[in-house]
Amino acid sequence: MKEKKKFYLTTAIAYTSGKPHIGNTYEAVLADSIVRFKRQQGYDVRFQTGTDEHGQKIEIKSAEAGVDPKKFVDDISGEIKSIWDLMNTSYDKFIRTTDKYHEKQVQKIFKKLYKQGDIYKGFYEGMYCTPCESFFTSSQLVDGKCPDCGRECQPAKEEAYFLKLSKYTDKLIKHIKTHPEFIQPESRKNEMMNNFLLPGLQDLCVSRTSFKWGIPVDFDEGHVVYVWIDALSNYITGLGYDTDGNNALENGEDLFEKYWPADLHLIGKDILRFHTIYWPIMLMALDLPLPKQIFGHPWLLQNDGKMSKSKGNVIYADDLVKIFGVDAVRYFVLHEMPFENDGVISWDLIAERVNSDLANTLGNLVNRTISMTNKYLDGVAENKGVIEPVDEELKTLVTAAPEKVITKMDALRVSDAISEVLAIFKRCNKYIDETEPWVLGKDESKKDRLSTVLYNLIESIVSGASLLEAFMPETTEKILTQLNAQKKSFDDIKTFGTYMSGTKVTDKPEILFMRQDIKDVIAKAEEITAVQSVENSTEDTVKEYEEVMDIEPKAEITFEDFEKMQFQIGEIIACEEVKKSRKLLCSKVKIGSEVKQIVSGIKQYYTAEEMVGKKVMVLVNLKPAKLAGVLSEGMLLCAEDNKGGLALMTPEKSMPSGAVVC
């Protein structure tokens, strides 16, 4: 028996902090279409997806909801899984990072790396630069000061474990250079190289003590494994990897041995850095081969501007499926997503796409073909071999299709691959016009030609439907059932005429895709939107009142420390944007009789015009510094929320410029 080539594909694991919207769902569908295609090509496929369930955010959210975090993630993980199922994704393995075998292996991996010195325990004392919010190893400090800003680093309370990245940097750079296909799309490769690898990597903090909801570091109480080692390891623990070499077996088979390294990690472009730098280095440290390819796919965005839960305009897969059906949604997300740029999704765009491509071109073709076969030939199209030159073009297109589709799929150009398949159906419609079966049907002497024409059509449709399977499996099934046909292999398609001559098609063709009335769709969407915003507004109002923030405590200071700082009220008398900077505003601030120039990173929250006239709190004796080349002689004080939103501090009653703040 011929040994099948293996193909191991993973998606990123979805974070269980909430219901996944269509963008997350897209990744699962994209992955599914790729693996289904590989299976058709005869690969032995392993497709793994799952959920990432630890972390502070979940700890907080579950506490807010008043439930145990495990219960919380059980619910959401279940919901995610059910959406993946709804979308017909054919995963072989759905891993959860709270699975026991995963947790155990993560602990072992952590310990192994620690023992061999790739993970070391670091301390924040003397290494934490508060303003930079960065941790440094002593070797990174310049004269004991922050290598970034040159200021004193603060002693900090938390100790943590670090992964030595620098040790493997050169090896990784070499790997990326010698494997041009490693990072896809290639433009992302430069970003990783120029921004991280070439300047040199800082060691990565891989543990936390600030929250509990994580995998404990088993040799050091109080520490939990931070997201990287926990989440990324899923790609190997899901195959039964064991650091000791005693890999878990599934049905007596060592899946890790069989499937690793992964052929493709499919991820969102936002997490490329973790998958192309941290993960390969972890694997090098574990002395394991690197994945062959990492594809950071673009995103599906909604074009009606800000997508927000409170506005209720978030598009969810299950809502879409209710209106359009699974395959239409699969088709849309796969077709609308180009290779490198973000795609756009909206209710009316889907409706349009479904109408023109699926209802008109494909659905109507199948319908009219079956109707004619019934009407003129009692449902049986035989290949009578009455060939005319016009047939040739159709045959050529159909038989050439598999190679074209394979080429596109190999390059991960899924959208283009679908277009190739659709071209078959478009050609079929044209063929009907060229051959005019309704004319042939009126002439008894043309009956054999008519039969041949319809046979050719059915043959082409069966080929097209077979090629469609990776993208729209249910539709393929429906078409084949109606035509009473077997799915064709790619090789069969290359030979025109493998559909069994004389097969009877169904009496009553079923509508494959309903035409959508755009107004109708929009009305339904608005209904869904209304429900969403009611659900969320109640939720949000509660939150607004209850929301509090906890931040990491800094070391205690003395009163003398405090007295070193001088705060005064200043009046902003002029303000302009700092050109060539995205966030900076440059203000002239009158403090008493003196005017200081102060640069602040608040352009996103205040316009230059609205700054003028405000009385604000200023730290005046801060050492001047240059920001984006502009001198700044102090600091405007702001409150900052946990999303980075800023609000200027202003005196509650009118105060003169220069008034001391104490």
Partner RNA sequence: GGCGGGAUAGCUCAGUUGGCUAGAGCACACGGUUCAUACCCGUGGUGUCAAGGGUUCAAAUCCCUUUCCCGCUACCA
Given the rule CB under 7 A, which residues bind RNA?
131-132, 148-149, 151, 187, 190-191, 194-195, 269-270, 273, 338, 340-341, 344, 352, 355-356, 359-368, 371-372, 375, 426, 429-430, 432-433, 436-439, 511-515, 579-584, 598-602, 619, 622, 625, 627-629, 632, 634-636
Phi, psi of 338 (to 5 degrees): -70, -175
Q: Which residues contact 229 (CB under 8 A, 6 or more apart)?
A: 106, 109, 110, 113, 163, 206, 282
Nearest distance, CB of residue 341 and RNA, angstroms: 4
Q: At what angle do helices 414-435 and 364-377 cross, to 10 degrees?
A: 30
Question: Which amino acid, one-letter code, is at 384?
Answer: K
Q: What Å distances lie between residue 552 and 136, 162, 396, 642, 647, CA to CA?
A: 17, 19, 68, 12, 20
Q: Which two tokens stand for residue 524?
A: 């339904």
- Amino acid identity of residue 71, one-letter, is K
Closer residue to RNA in complex, CB, 142/439: 439
- Nearer to RNA (CB atom), residue 114 or residue 431: 431
Task: Please answer whether residues 312 and 533 qualify as being in contact, where contact means their C-beta atoms are separated by less than 8 angstroms.
Answer: yes
Residue 154 or 367 with smaller CB distance to RNA = 367
Choice between 311 and 603, CB closer to RNA: 603
**Minimal distance in Å, beta carbon 423 to RNA?**
9
Nearer to RNA, 79 or 352 (CB): 352
Closest approach, Cβ 545 to RNA, in A, equals 29
| Residue 612 identity | V
Neighbours of 413 (CB within 10 A): 16
Q: How far apart are CA 8 and CA 239, in angstroms?
A: 10
**Nearest distance from C-beta of residue 70 to RNA, angstroms:** 32
Measure the CA–CA gap between 308 and 441, rounded to whole angstroms.
57
3-state secondary structure of 55: coil
Which of 175, 515 has the CB closer to RNA?
515
For the bound state, the minimum distance from the C-beta of residue 509 to RNA, rounded and expressed in Å, comes to 8
The DSSP element (H or E) to which 470 belongs, if any, is none
Q: How far apart are CA 377 and CA 502, in angstroms?
A: 10
Q: Which is nearer to RNA, 442 or 543 (CB)?
A: 442
CA distance 21 to 313: 11
- Cis peptide leading into 261, omega within 30 of 0? yes
- Least distance (Å) from RNA to the CB of residue 635? 2
Least distance in angstroms from the C-beta of 492 to RNA: 25
Residue closer to RNA (CB basis): 476 or 632? 632
> Helix 22-40 and helix 414-435: axis angle, to 10°?
70
Provide the minimum distance between the beta carbon of 623 and RNA in the complex, in angstroms, as a whole number: 7
- Shortest Å, Cβ 45 to RNA: 29
Nearer to RNA, 625 or 655 (CB): 625
